[in-house]
């Protein structure tokens, strides 16, 4: 589940819709010949980050992740099957981790008797050189997330200055958004923006995710409460997401019960049990939710 508080996820998905992409060639070993429809209608619509076909005919599915989501393995399996249903072939799946911390995901997952494998790649371990040398602007934007070399900033500035004014501003705004995933680059990107545009960058520190995340949580009680409330809502939504995947829909009355639950640890335990069980209704009952309302 994508967290709405992370607008850079949307920026990444927008970047991935353009062709040709050097990053796809790096990850899958071949160029993309065709971008395929990645939305799969169901009881609840599912959308993959990127689905395409390589020049050698291989079907591919790329999913990007910047934060840890315990429901991701289940979503990967579901999309794997949805892609097969639509295109008649099983895709080669790559999970691209773009977070700043060590990747928390494994290459193999077991859900009951089902075992699923996915290739996991950490963006920060990819050299930025190939992306910077690409003639595609989207590749150059993604270079901000890769392993940077000594002359990285000089070379990036050269590419920015070649762009016409409108495209240059769009390029810089995407850089600023993605730089929030690499805290050690943010100030450098702000500096680049101000030097190239010759204008100061005005930042609303009350709303900017980079500055909000950087503050000490306990500094103000109201902010702490708001942060905890957001975490609780995320836990509730993840439980409902798994219930819908398992049962095809959220049973009547259950959504109200889950959204009224204020024990985040209980929700986390429920989420884990739901992911692992073959009898979700029984698990729901065991956790105290009234079956006559489900």
Q: Are residues 46 and 119 in the same domain?
A: yes
Last residue of a domain, one of 105, 125, 145: 125
- Give pLDDT tens digits for 148-207: 988 999 999 999 999 888 888 888 888 888 887 887 888 898 899 888 888 777 655 554
In the listed set 91, 125, 159, which residue is the last one of a domain according to the structure? 125
CA distance 143 to 159: 12
Which of 214, 247, 272 is a domain's end point?
214
Q: Does 74 reside within a domain?
A: yes
Domain that holds residue 191: 132-214
Annotate 6-45 with DSSP letters as a single string.
Answer: -THHHHHHHHTTSSS-HHHHHHHSS-EEEE---EE-SSS-
Could you tell me the mean pLDDT of each successive run of 10 residues in the chain, 294 residues long? 47 62 85 83 72 94 88 90 94 92 88 87 92 87 90 92 86 84 85 86 56 46 46 78 78 81 81 77 80 49
pLDDT in tens, 215-228: 443 444 444 444 44
| Burial class for 150, CB neighbours closer than 10 Å (0-12, 13-18, 19+) | exposed
**pLDDT at residue 204 in the model:** 52
């Amino acid at each position: 589940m994508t967290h709405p508080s992370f607008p850079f996820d949307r920026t990444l998905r927008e970047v991935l819709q353009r062709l040709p992409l050097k990053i796809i060639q790096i990850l899958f070993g071949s160029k993309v010949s065709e971008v395929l429809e990645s939305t799969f209608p169901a009881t609840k619509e599912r959308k993959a980050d990127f689905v395409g076909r390589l020049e050698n005919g291989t079907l591919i599915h790329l999913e990007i992740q910047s934060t840890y989501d315990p429901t991701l393995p289940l979503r990967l399996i579901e999309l794997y099957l949805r892609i097969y249903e639509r295109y008649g072939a099983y895709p080669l799946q790559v999970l691209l981790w773009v977070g700043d911390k060590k990747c928390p995901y494994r290459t193999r997952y077991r859900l009951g008797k089902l075992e699923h494998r996915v290739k996991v790649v950490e963006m920060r371990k990819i050299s930025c050189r190939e992306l910077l040398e690409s003639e595609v602007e989207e590749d150059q934007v993604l270079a901000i997330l890769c392993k940077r070399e000594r002359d990285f900033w000089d070379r990036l500035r050269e590419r920015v200055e070649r762009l016409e004014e409108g495209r240059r501003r769009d390029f810089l705004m995407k850089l600023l958004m993605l730089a929030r995933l690499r805290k050690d680059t943010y100030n450098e990107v702000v500096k680049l923006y101000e030097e190239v545009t010759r204008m100061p960058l005005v930042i609303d520190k009350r709303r900017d995710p980079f500055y909000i995340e950087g503050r000490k949580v306990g500094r103000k009680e109201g902010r702490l409460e708001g942060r905890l409330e957001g975490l609780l809502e995320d836990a509730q939504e993840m439980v409902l997401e798994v219930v819908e995947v398992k049962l095809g829909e959220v049973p009547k009355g259950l959504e109200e019960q889950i959204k009224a639950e204020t024990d985040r640890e209980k929700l986390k335990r429920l989420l884990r049990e739901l992911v692992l069980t073959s009898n979700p209704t029984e698990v729901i009952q065991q956790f105290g939710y009234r079956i006559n309302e489900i």
